[in-house]
Amino acid sequence: MTTIKLKIDGHTIEVEKGTTILEAAKKINVKIPTLCHHEDLCVAGNCRVCVVEVKNRHRLEASCAVPAEEGMDILTNSAKVRNARKDIVSLLVSEHNTQCTTCYRNTNCELQDLAAEYNVDGNRFLSVLKPNLSIDKSSWSIEKDDSKCIRCQRCVRTCAELQHVNALTAANKGHEMKIATFMDLPFNEVVCTNCGQCVNRCPTGALTERRYFDQVWEAIGDPNKHVVMNTAPSVRVALGEMLGYEVGTRVTGKMVTAMRKMGVDSVLDTDFTADLTIIEEGNELLTRLKKVVKDGDKSIKLPMITSCSPGWVKFIEHMFPNHLGHLSTCKSPQQMFGALAKTYYAEKKGIDPKDIVSVAIMPCAAKKYEANRPEMNSSGYRDIDAGLTTREFGLMIKQAGLDFKNLEDTAFDSIMGESTGAGVIFGATGGVMEAALRTAYAVVTGRKVPFENLNITPVRGTDGIRAASIKIEGCLPEWNFLEGVELNVAVAHGLKNARVIMDEIAAGKSKYHFIEIMACPGGCIGGGGQPIPTNAEIRAKRTKAIYEEDMGKPIRMSHENPEITQIYEEFLGEPLGHKSHDLLHTHYQKRHRH
Measured from the CB of residue 282, what is the shortest distance to other proteins in angstroms? 35
Nearer to other proteins, 81 or 425 (CB): 81
**By the rule CB under 8 A, 594 interacts with other proteins:** yes
Which distant-in-sequence residues (6+ apart) come within 8 Å of 506 by Cβ? 320, 322, 323
Nearer to other proteins, 175 or 587 (CB): 175
**By the rule CB under 8 A, 361 interacts with other proteins:** no
Peptide bond into 303 cis (omega under 30): yes
Nearer to other proteins, 155 or 251 (CB): 155
Which three-class secondary structure string do you get for 543-585? HHHHHHHHHCCCCCCHHHCHHHHHHHHHHHCCCCCHHHHHHHE
Per the CB < 8 A criterion, the answer to whether 6 and 73 are in contact is yes
Measured from the CB of residue 37, what is the shortest distance to other proteins in angstroms? 12
Q: Which of 7, 9, 26, 65 binds other proteins (CB under 8 A)?
A: 65
Neighbour count for residue 135 (Cβ, 10 Å) = 13
Active site residue 100: no
Nearer to other proteins, 5 or 82 (CB): 82
Footprint on residues 129-158 left by other proteins (CB under 8 A): 150-151, 153
Measured from the CB of residue 169, what is the shortest distance to other proteins in angstroms? 3
**By the rule CB under 8 A, 128 interacts with other proteins:** yes
**Integer Cα distance of 259 and 275 in angstroms:** 22
Active site residue 375: yes
Binding mask 519-538 for other proteins (x = CB under 8 A): --------------------
**By the rule CB under 8 A, 175 interacts with other proteins:** yes
Q: Of 121-129, 321-329, 439-447, 564-572, which part binds other proteins (CB under 8 A)?
A: 121-129
Q: Of 91-99, 138-146, 267-275, 369-377, which part binds other proteins (CB under 8 A)?
A: 91-99
**What's the order of all strands across the beta sheet hosting 486-493?**
304-305, 514-518, 486-493, 465-471
Active site residue 367: yes
Sign of the CA dihedral with 152 first, then 164, 65, and 196 last: positive
Nearer to other proteins, 190 or 444 (CB): 190
Active site residue 234: no
Nearer to other proteins, 9 or 184 (CB): 184
**By the rule CB under 8 A, 79 interacts with other proteins:** no
Active site residue 241: no
**By the rule CB under 8 A, 509 interacts with other proteins:** no
**By the rule CB under 8 A, 84 interacts with other proteins:** yes
The pair phi, psi for residue 466, each rounded to 5°, is -130, 135
Neighbour count for residue 31 (Cβ, 10 Å) = 10
Three-state DSSP class for residue 280: helix
Per the CB < 8 A criterion, the answer to whether 364 and 247 are in contact is no
DSSP calls for 228-266? EEEE-GGGTTTGGGGGTPPTT---HHHHHHHHHHHT-SE
**Integer Cα distance of 369 and 143 in angstroms:** 12
Active site residue 284: yes
**By the rule CB under 8 A, 83 interacts with other proteins:** yes
Give the bridge partners for 231, in sequence order: 269, 361
Single-letter residue type at 335: Q
Q: Of 171-179, 215-223, 250-258, 422-430, which part binds other proteins (CB under 8 A)?
A: 171-179
**Integer Cα distance of 184 and 174 in angstroms:** 17
**By the rule CB under 8 A, 584 interacts with other proteins:** no
Q: What is the DSSP letter of 327?
A: B
**By the rule CB under 8 A, 38 interacts with other proteins:** no
**By the rule CB under 8 A, 47 interacts with other proteins:** yes
**By the rule CB under 8 A, 172 interacts with other proteins:** yes
Per the CB < 8 A criterion, the answer to whether 7 and 72 are in contact is yes
Q: Which of 24, 60, 415, 424 binds other proteins (CB under 8 A)?
A: 60
Nearer to other proteins, 41 or 251 (CB): 41
Nearer to other proteins, 48 or 541 (CB): 48
> Which listed residue (370, 516, 549, 563) is catalytic?
370
> Which listed residue (103, 152, 159, 524) is catalytic?
524
Q: Pick from 3, 142, 40, 151: which is nearest to 533 by CA? A: 40
**By the rule CB under 8 A, 87 interacts with other proteins:** yes
Per the CB < 8 A criterion, the answer to whether 396 and 213 are in contact is yes
Active site residue 370: yes
**Integer Cα distance of 199 and 205 in angstroms:** 9
**By the rule CB under 8 A, 80 interacts with other proteins:** yes
Q: Pick from 135, 205, 144, 146: which is nearest to 176 by CA? A: 146
Pairing of strands 73-75, 3-8: parallel
Measured from the CB of residue 158, what is the shortest distance to other proteins in angstroms? 13
Q: What is the DSSP letter of 20?
A: B
Active site residue 161: no
Measured from the CB of residue 174, what is the shortest distance to other proteins in angstroms? 5
**By the rule CB under 8 A, 488 interacts with other proteins:** no
Residues involved in catalysis: 281, 284, 308, 328, 367, 370, 375, 524
Question: Under the rule (CB under 8 A), what is the footprint of other proteins?
Answer: 43-49, 51, 58-60, 62, 65-67, 80, 83-84, 87-88, 91-92, 94-95, 124-126, 128, 150-151, 153, 165-177, 180-183, 190-191, 592-594
